[in-house]
């Protein structure tokens, strides 16, 4: 019988209790690998499973929690051997007892990028190997997970390599977050989207402490809820757990009204706990929760409930933006990040990501952009492309629940995009157009919207995950169409109950004073039921419209948000008084004093009258040289030097934008590849060097951290680079630095190498064959000057 | 957590302030300290083990682990046991430093230094707790892998000995870096009788490997 049938047949399903605790009782030593006992002491394992089955477990977890490639690497045993032996032991114990055997999979033990060094694909592979080795199990359990991203890799590996039911449980702390910051709601919406069969919480706390988390979970998922708590809390010195089996069972029954269905125990529990648990639960009735699930998109740390208008920032899009196109062509991911961060600070809730441009590999760029954005921004993303392969690549590496932009009423679109949305558990924007184009009337657009919704529902995508875009037409060209759009929107909201999306800025194309038209159209649309305006949040008037609407429509209860943004009656602080000899137009002053906004503003002013190169050579470079020599002489210290560099960076960005707009290519003094070497994840030093080098006009190709040795060489060759900078923080990663230099010498001999980083010394740098040792970020600029001029 | 004045003062030393006027920098430092306080979620765990001095090193009884090297032998000289400590500021601190580096490198650097300082205070707090609980015993100071000749290869076994991934979210990379990066593992000797006072110099500082002052034959002044 399948798990699904078991879930339907039984009120409550009983899992087992701790394996580790039982093994320590039998004589397992601390630090030993428990999974190896499947081979060396099968009788111990079978005995423990039997005890649980006799106590009432319907499902026992095979002893495979840490049986992954990484944890077994020094054991001399393969994943296949260990997992197969474990399943065999569990099956033997379960034989004739009407119990099921779960392949039990815990965290890999290494953190995924960007925190750690493991890539999403490697994690997928590690889980895939376990899933295949565990093919004899009845179901797959992923438990004690703290990283939603790792769990997504695990679930995809299970779904794509088996058809067994999947149960997932994550481990939360008292603050309602996992160690990596994942919330209960993000877990619930992401995993239900990915199509697991049951989900819940295990380990870390006792039943009592987990109560508020279960309560939260019951609101966020329609799946059966799993709970496997510890036997209370451990004593910090002795490690003893605080509650006995009777108290455990008693406390667990208090969670029945919240909707728990699949129950067991984790650390510190034993067969006695399961026996008491079953005794207590068998006389109770299952209370199925009836959650009203919301329209949601999320990152692990940030769940955006679309229960009121939420702003989608439109700025990550090259359409009509020369500077953005240039950035895409140059692989300049930092520019994309700067666009994201500006919108975050302006108040966007969600970011649209469109990186489509002829001449670039859109799929690769989408993956890079998604990875880079989720590393630094906590807003959910809306993946925007017309190419299904690009969407799928983005969906795969996205951490959380994203929005797909978009599907439309064309058959081809419906049949390719919707299955992706279903598989990856996303939400989707449905455009009201089809083979015949955009219908003129509200009636026809509503028809297409209805069609999209019913096609989505037919493959199991709920309409709460379909966001309809009734399409804004340009008022100057089709004035009579404006109200058609709004009328269609109103019907979609009222009759279909879907969320509604609208790209607002298009309305004013070709008109003067576009902001006035845009912000008023936005307000009109909001009153008709627009919930997801796609706008430029950096324009104050647009956010003013959104925030006033939210106040007036009683979403912003007590006007808290509105007042926090506009309630200050004191004028914005003016720039601090300039030092002696300086004046407000003084760029060097802004640089020396770390005034970022001022620096950009002054540069913009200067560009009206002064040639860009004159600003760079006459003002910026001398100012940088001054702070550089102040740093060398010890007059200022590192944070001040970096602050000055940051101001100069914002000035350069203004100049770049100016040059791009006027069609001039900005001058480069040469390209430099920077990388923190393989195995090293601490890259702050390299990042400081990058900022300074860019200030001096070098094009920095930043390969990031934990960079494969050969990739450095390949990039240097491909981009014809003659200076490579390598950084390492740890003694343990210096060998990677040496290898990288060796490879460069062999394959790209006319390339100079400078090295730096905490553990390096000039002597060591020489001994591993580097050309230059940079003591600090400033010195790396001096070296670049020598090598590249 | 709230960063103390000590955290900030020590953080400034890590930034390289060394007696310079830091007035202009203080608004940034204060802002970073506030943000770090919100982002960091300090956690620590520790466990006591009886020890045995053997030819190979110092065996932790009831485990598979032996500590090798002369430095740890000297450090634990006269002790009957030791406490293994794992502490971390958690992933939030790393994430904040990473996010800041995308748009404000100076703030990122300042926060990084403050975090290095704050994890020291977390260890101090843990140590204080141990001293209170073992008030009839005498404790050495904290000794970490990487100090003296105590190898970094001890990181993975120490982390797994305390099940630190599961309990506080601490992991080790293949290159033996702790992740989250603002984390510490340490060994503290426990003795029944008073221990001779040993000088706690540069070798026992967490910044030992990366200290610019020490490399220049200098001292940070802490």
Of A144, A147, A114, A142, which is closest to residue A128 (Cα–Cα)?
Answer: A142
Cα(A318)–Cα(A521) distance, integer angstroms: 24
Residue-level pLDDT at B219: 64
Strands (E), A237-342: 260-263, 296-298, 303-305, 312-316
Residue-level pLDDT at A717: 96
Given an 8 Å threshold on Cβ–Cβ distance, is A110 in contact with B173?
yes
A85-106 burial, b for 16+ CB within 10 Å, e for fewer? bbbbbbbebbeeeebbbbbbbb
Of A15, A85, A396, which is closest to residue A229 (Cα–Cα)?
Answer: A15
Q: Where are the alpha helices (DSSP H) in A79-119?
A: 79-94
* Number of neighbouring beta carbons within 10 Å of residue A302: 18
Q: In chain B, which among 78-107 make CB contacts under 8 A with chain A?
A: 90-92, 94-95, 97-99, 101-106
Highest mean pLDDT among A72-76, A454-458, A613-617: A454-458
Domain ranges of chain B: 5-193
Beta-sheet pairing, A100-105 with A139-145: parallel
Q: Do domains A3-282 and A671-788 have the same CATH topology?
A: no
Of A388, A339, A346, which is closest to residue A366 (Cα–Cα)?
Answer: A388
- Chosen for mutation from A179, A372, A739 (greatest number of chain B CBs closer than 10 Å) is A179
Classify residue A750 as exposed, middle or buried by CB count within 10 Å of its CB (0-12, 13-18, 19+): exposed
Q: What are the residues whose beta carbons fall under 8 Å from the beta carbon of B169, sequence distance 6 or more?
A: A146, A178, A179, A180, B43, B88, B90, B91, B180
Of A252, A234, A204, A181, which is closest to residue A24 (Cα–Cα)?
Answer: A234
Q: For residue A639, which residues of chain B lie inside 8 Å, CB to CB?
A: 15, 25, 28, 106, 109-110
Express each pLDDT in B100-126 by its tens digit: 998 899 999 999 999 999 999 999 999
Q: Which of A31, A175, A643 sits opposite B64 (nearest CB)?
A: A31
Q: Taking all residues of chain A, what is their mean pLDDT, rounded to a whole number?
A: 93
Q: For residue B175, which residues of chain A lie inside 8 Å, CB to CB?
A: 117, 678-680, 730, 732-733, 736
What would the two tokens of residue A463 be? 């309409």
Cα(A320)–Cα(A339) distance, integer angstroms: 15
The position carrying tokens 């990122």 is B108
Shortest distance between the Cα of A29 and any Cα of chain B, in A, equals 6
What would the two tokens of residue A303 be? 């769940």
- The answer, for A75 touching chain B at a CB cutoff of 8 Å, is no
CA-based torsion, A453, A459, A464, A470: positive or negative? negative
- Chosen for mutation from A30, A203, A229, A344 (greatest number of chain B CBs closer than 10 Å) is A30
- Chosen for mutation from A684, A689, A757, A779 (greatest number of chain B CBs closer than 10 Å) is A684
Q: For residue A179, which residues of chain B lie inside 8 Å, CB to CB?
A: 90-91, 168-169
* Number of neighbouring beta carbons within 10 Å of residue A53: 24
The model's pTM is 0.92
Give first-to-last CA distance, chain A, whole Å. Answer: 74
- The answer, for A33 touching chain B at a CB cutoff of 8 Å, is no
Which has the minimum average pLDDT: A30-34, A177-181, A403-407, B95-99? A30-34
| Contact status, residue A743 vs residue A709, Cβ threshold 8 Å | yes
Q: For residue B63, which residues of chain A lie inside 8 Å, CB to CB?
A: 29-31
Question: What is the arithmetic mean of pLDDT over A322-328?
Answer: 92
Express each pLDDT in A7-18 by its tens digit: 778 889 999 999
CATH architecture assignment, domain B5-193: 3-Layer(aba) Sandwich (3.40)
Q: Which of B97, B167, B173 sits opposite A116 (nearest CB)?
A: B173
Q: In chain B, which among 35-64 make CB contacts under 8 A with chain A?
A: 41, 45-48, 62-64
Name all contacts of B25-34 with Cβ < 8 Å and 24+ positions apart: B25/A639, B25/A640, B25/B110, B28/A594, B28/A639, B28/A643, B28/B106, B28/B107, B28/B110, B29/B110, B29/B114, B31/B107, B32/B107, B32/B110, B32/B111, B32/B114, B33/B3, B33/B7, B33/B8, B33/B114
| Contact status, residue A86 vs residue A68, Cβ threshold 8 Å | no
Banded model confidence at residue B60, pLDDT cuts 50, 70, 90: very high
- Chosen for mutation from A639, A682, A773, A779 (greatest number of chain B CBs closer than 10 Å) is A639
Cα(A56)–Cα(A60) distance, integer angstroms: 10
Answer whether residue B201 shows pLDDT above 90: no
Q: For residue B166, which residues of chain A lie inside 8 Å, CB to CB?
A: 144, 171, 203-204
Q: What are the residues whose beta carbons fall under 8 Å from the beta carbon of A660, sequence distance 6 or more?
A: A322, A323, A326, A666
Answer whether residue B191 shows pLDDT above 90: yes
Q: What percent of chain A has pLDDT over 90?
A: 80
Cα(A568)–Cα(B115) distance, integer angstroms: 33
Cα(B77)–Cα(B57) distance, integer angstroms: 12
CATH architecture assignment, domain A304-537: Alpha-Beta Barrel (3.20)
Q: Which of A32, A117, A687 sits opposite B101 (nearest CB)?
A: A687
> At the topology level of CATH, where does A671-788 sit?
Rossmann fold (3.40.50)
Express each pLDDT in A625-646 by its tens digit: 999 899 888 888 899 999 999 9
- The answer, for B155 touching chain A at a CB cutoff of 8 Å, is no
3 state SS of A103:
strand
Express each pLDDT in A238-296 by its tens digit: 778 999 999 999 999 999 999 999 999 999 999 999 999 999 999 999 999 999 999 99
Q: What are the residues whose beta carbons fall under 8 Å from the beta carbon of A40, sequence distance 6 or more?
A: none
| Contact status, residue A426 vs residue A403, Cβ threshold 8 Å | yes
- The answer, for A132 touching chain B at a CB cutoff of 8 Å, is no
Answer whether residue B221 shows pLDDT above 90: no
What would the two tokens of residue A211 be? 């109560």
Q: For residue B133, which residues of chain A lie inside 8 Å, CB to CB?
A: 237
CA-based torsion, A435, A316, A392, A380: positive or negative? negative
Question: What's the angle, vertex CA A241, arms to CA B188 and CA A185, rounded to 5?
Answer: 100
Given an 8 Å threshold on Cβ–Cβ distance, is B169 in contact with A642?
no
Classify residue A730 as exposed, middle or buried by CB count within 10 Å of its CB (0-12, 13-18, 19+): buried
| Contact status, residue A20 vs residue A30, Cβ threshold 8 Å | no
What would the two tokens of residue A648 be? 């100069």
Pick the CATH number of A3-282 from 3.20.20.330, 3.20.20.10, 3.30.420.40, 2.170.8.10: 3.20.20.330
Shortest distance between the Cα of B80 and any Cα of chain A, in A, equals 17
Banded model confidence at residue B208, pLDDT cuts 50, 70, 90: low
Shortest distance between the Cα of A640 and any Cα of chain B, in A, equals 7
Residue-level pLDDT at B20: 84
ipTM associated with this complex: 0.88
Given an 8 Å threshold on Cβ–Cβ distance, is B175 in contact with A642?
no
| Contact status, residue A347 vs residue A310, Cβ threshold 8 Å | no
Answer whether residue A584 shows pLDDT above 50: no
Given an 8 Å threshold on Cβ–Cβ distance, is A681 in contact with B18?
no
Q: List the strands of the sheet with A772-773, edge to edge.
A: A699-702, A671-676, A723-727, A752-756, A772-773
Answer whether residue A569 shows pLDDT above 90: no
Question: What is the arithmetic mean of pLDDT over A757-785?
Answer: 92
Banded model confidence at residue B43, pLDDT cuts 50, 70, 90: very high
Residue-level pLDDT at A167: 97
The residue ranking higher by pLDDT, A400 or A616, is: A400
- The answer, for A338 touching chain B at a CB cutoff of 8 Å, is yes
Cα(A28)–Cα(A9) distance, integer angstroms: 38
B171-186 burial, b for 16+ CB within 10 Å, e for fewer? bbbbbbbbbbbbbbbb
Question: What is the arithmetic mean of pLDDT over B17-25?
Answer: 86
Cα(A595)–Cα(A587) distance, integer angstroms: 9
Helices vs strands, H then E, count in chain B? 8, 8
Q: In chain A, which among 543-602 make CB contacts under 8 A with chain B?
A: 593-594
Residue-level pLDDT at B205: 65
Q: What percent of chain A has pLDDT over 70?
A: 97
- The answer, for B140 touching chain A at a CB cutoff of 8 Å, is no
Cα(A782)–Cα(A725) distance, integer angstroms: 13
Banded model confidence at residue A568, pLDDT cuts 50, 70, 90: confident
Strands (E), A626-750: 671-676, 699-702, 723-727
Q: For residue B167, which residues of chain A lie inside 8 Å, CB to CB?
A: 204
Of A360, A359, A358, A408, which is closest to residue A388 (Cα–Cα)?
Answer: A408
Cα(A582)–Cα(A604) distance, integer angstroms: 18
Domain ranges of chain A: 3-282, 304-537, 587-661, 671-788
Cα(A193)–Cα(A195) distance, integer angstroms: 5
The residue ranking higher by pLDDT, A21 or A184, is: A184
What would the two tokens of residue A489 be? 């929107």
Q: What are the residues whose beta carbons fall under 8 Å from the beta carbon of A540, sequence distance 6 or more?
A: none
Q: For residue A731, which residues of chain B lie inside 8 Å, CB to CB?
A: 146, 152, 209
Overall size of chain A counted in residues: 789
Q: How far is CA B143 from the centre of its chain?
A: 9
Of A59, A171, A70, A152, which is closest to residue A104 (Cα–Cα)?
Answer: A59
- The answer, for A115 touching chain B at a CB cutoff of 8 Å, is yes
The residue ranking higher by pLDDT, B202 or A787, is: A787
Given an 8 Å threshold on Cβ–Cβ distance, is A376 in contact with B90?
no
Pick the CATH number of A587-661 from 1.10.1240.10, 3.90.25.10, 3.40.350.10, 3.30.300.30: 1.10.1240.10
Q: In chain B, which among 176-205 make CB contacts under 8 A with chain A?
A: 176-177, 179-181
Express each pLDDT in A439-493 by its tens digit: 999 999 999 999 999 999 999 999 999 999 999 999 999 999 999 999 999 999 9
| Contact status, residue A55 vs residue A278, Cβ threshold 8 Å | yes
Q: What are the residues whose beta carbons fall under 8 Å from the beta carbon of A489, sequence distance 6 or more?
A: A468, A470, A500, A502, A525, A528, A529, A530
Given an 8 Å threshold on Cβ–Cβ distance, is B24 in contact with A593?
yes
Shortest distance between the Cα of A146 and any Cα of chain B, in A, equals 8
Q: In chain A, which among 687-706 make CB contacts under 8 A with chain B?
A: 687-688, 691
Of A280, A284, A225, A285, which is closest to residue A55 (Cα–Cα)?
Answer: A280
Q: How far is CA A620 from the centre of its chain?
A: 37
Banded model confidence at residue A754, pLDDT cuts 50, 70, 90: very high
Helices A684-695 and B91-101: crossing angle in degrees, nearest 10, is: 10
Q: Which of A178, A688, A733 sits opposite B175 (nearest CB)?
A: A733
Q: Which of B18, B64, B91 sits opposite A115 (nearest CB)?
A: B91
- Chosen for mutation from A31, A647, A690 (greatest number of chain B CBs closer than 10 Å) is A31
Q: What is the dihedral of CA A758, A763, A764, A767, to 10 degrees?
A: 160
- Chosen for mutation from B65, B92, B103 (greatest number of chain A CBs closer than 10 Å) is B103
């Amino acid at each position: 019988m399948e798990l699904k049938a078991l879930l339907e047949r039984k009120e409550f399903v009983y899992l087992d209790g701790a394996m580790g605790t039982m093994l320590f009782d039998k004589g397992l030593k601390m630090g030993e690998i428990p999974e190896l006992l499947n081979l060396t002491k099968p009788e111990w394992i079978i005995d423990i499973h039997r005890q649980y089955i006799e106590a009432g477990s319907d499902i026992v977890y095979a002893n495979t929690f840490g049986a992954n490639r990484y944890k077994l690497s020094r054991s001399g045993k393969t994943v296949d051997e260990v997992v197969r032996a474990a399943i065999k032991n569990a099956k033997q114990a379960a034989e004739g007892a009407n119990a099921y055997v779960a392949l039990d999979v815990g965290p890999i033990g290494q953190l995924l990028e960007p925190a750690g060094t493991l890539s999403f694909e490697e994690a997928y592979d590690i889980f895939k190997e376990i899933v295949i080795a565990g093919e004899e199990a009845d179901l797959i359990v992923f438990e004690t997970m703290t990283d939603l991203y790792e769990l997504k890799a695990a679930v995809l590996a299970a779904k794509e390599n088996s058809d067994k039911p999947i149960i997932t449980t994550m481990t939360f702390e008292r603050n309602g977050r996992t160690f990596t910051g994942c919330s209960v709601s993000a877990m619930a919406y992401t995993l239900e989207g990915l199509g697991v069969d049951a989900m819940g919480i295990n380990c870390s706390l006792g039943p009592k402490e987990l109560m508020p988390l279960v309560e939260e979970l019951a609101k966020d998922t329609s799946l059966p809820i799993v709970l496997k708590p510890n036997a209370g809390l451990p004593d910090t010195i002795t490690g003893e757990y605080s509650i006995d089996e009777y108290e455990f069972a008693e406390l667990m029954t208090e969670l029945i009204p919240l909707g728990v269905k699949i129950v067991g125990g984790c650390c510190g529990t034993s067969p006695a706990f399961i026996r008491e648990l079953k005794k207590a639960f068998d006389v109770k009735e299952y209370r199925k929760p009836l959650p009203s699930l919301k329209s949601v998109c999320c990152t692990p740390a940030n769940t955006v409930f679309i229960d009121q208008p939420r702003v989608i920032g439109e700025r990550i899009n090259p359409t009509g933006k020369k500077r953005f196109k240039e950035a895409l062509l140059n692989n300049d991911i930092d520019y994309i990040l700067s666009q994201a961060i500006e919108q975050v600070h302006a108040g966007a809730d969600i970011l649209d990501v469109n990186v489509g441009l002829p001449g670039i590999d859109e799929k690769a760029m989408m993956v890079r952009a998604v990875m880079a954005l989720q590393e630094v921004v906590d807003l959910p993303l809306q993946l925007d492309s017309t190419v299904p392969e690009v969407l799928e690549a983005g969906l795969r590496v996205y951490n959380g629940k994203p929005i797909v932009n978009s599907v439309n009423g064309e058959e081809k679109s419906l049949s390719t995009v919707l299955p992706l949305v279903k598989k990856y558990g996303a939400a989707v924007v449905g455009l009201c157009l089809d083979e015949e184009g955009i219908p003129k009337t509200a009636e026809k657009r509503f028809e297409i919207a209805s069609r999209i919704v019913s096609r989505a529902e037919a493959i199991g995508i709920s309409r709460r995950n379909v966001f309809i875009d009734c399409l804004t037409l340009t008022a100057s060209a089709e004035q009579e169409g404006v109200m058609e759009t709004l009328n269609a929107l109103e019907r979609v909201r009222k009759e279909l109950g879907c969320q509604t999306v609208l790209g607002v800025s298009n309305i004013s194309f070709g008109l003067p004073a576009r902001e006035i038209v845009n912000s008023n159209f936005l307000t009109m649309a909001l009153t008709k039921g627009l919930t997801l305006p796609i706008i430029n949040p950096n324009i104050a008037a647009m956010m003013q419209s959104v925030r006033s609407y939210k106040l007036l429509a009683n979403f912003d209860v007590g006007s808290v948000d509105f007042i926090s943004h506009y309630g200050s009656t004191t004028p914005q602080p003016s720039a601090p008084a300039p030092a002696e000899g300086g004046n407000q137009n003084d760029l060097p002053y802004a640089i020396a004093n770390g005034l970022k906004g001022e620096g950009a503003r002054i540069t913009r002013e200067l560009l009206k009258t002064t040639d860009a190169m004159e600003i760079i050579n006459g003002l910026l470079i001398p100012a940088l040289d001054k702070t550089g020599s102040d740093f060398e002489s010890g007059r200022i210290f590192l944070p001040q030097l970096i602050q000055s560099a940051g101001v100069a960076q914002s000035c350069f960005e203004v100049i770049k934008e100016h040059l791009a707009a006027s069609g001039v290519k900005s001058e480069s003094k040469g390209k430099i590849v920077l990388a923190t070497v393989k195995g090293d994840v601490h890259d702050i030093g390299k990042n400081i060097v990058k900022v300074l080098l860019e200030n001096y006009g070098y094009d920095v190709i930043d390969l990031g951290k934990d960079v494969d040795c050969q990739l450095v060489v390949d990039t240097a060759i491909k981009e014809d680079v003659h200076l490579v900078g390598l950084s390492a923080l740890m003694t343990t990663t210096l060998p990677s630095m040496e290898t990288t230099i060796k490879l460069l010498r062999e394959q790209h001999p006319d390339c100079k190498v400078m090295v730096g980083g905490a553990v390096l010394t000039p002597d060591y740098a020489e001994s591993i064959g580097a050309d230059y040792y940079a003591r600090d970020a400033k010195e790396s600029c001096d070296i670049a000057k020598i090598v590249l001029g | 957590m709230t960063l103390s004045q000590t955290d900030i003062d020590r953080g400034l030393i890590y930034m390289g302030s060394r007696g310079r006027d830091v007035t202009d920098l203080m608004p940034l430092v204060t802002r970073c300290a506030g943000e770090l306080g919100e982002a960091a979620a300090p956690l620590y765990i520790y466990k006591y083990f009886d020890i045995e001095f053997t030819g190979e090193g110092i065996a932790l009884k009831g485990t598979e682990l032996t500590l090798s090297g002369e430095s740890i032998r000297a450090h634990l000289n006269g002790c009957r046991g030791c406490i293994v400590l794992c502490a971390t500021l958690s992933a939030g601190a790393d994430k904040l430093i990473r996010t800041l580096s995308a748009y404000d490198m100076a703030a990122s650097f300042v926060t990084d230094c403050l975090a290095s300082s704050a994890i020291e205070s977390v260890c101090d707090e843990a140590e204080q707790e141990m001293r209170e609980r073992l008030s009839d015993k005498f404790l050495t100071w904290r000794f970490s892998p990487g100090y003296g000749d105590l190898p970094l290869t001890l990181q993975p076994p120490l982390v797994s000995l305390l099940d630190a991934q599961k309990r506080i979210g601490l992991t080790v990379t293949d290159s033996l870096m702790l992740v989250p990066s603002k984390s510490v593992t340490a060994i503290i000797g426990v003795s029944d009788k008073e221990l001779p006072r040993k000088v706690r110099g540069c070798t026992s500082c967490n910044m030992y490997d990366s200290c610019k002052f020490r490399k220049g034959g200098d001292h940070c002044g802490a």
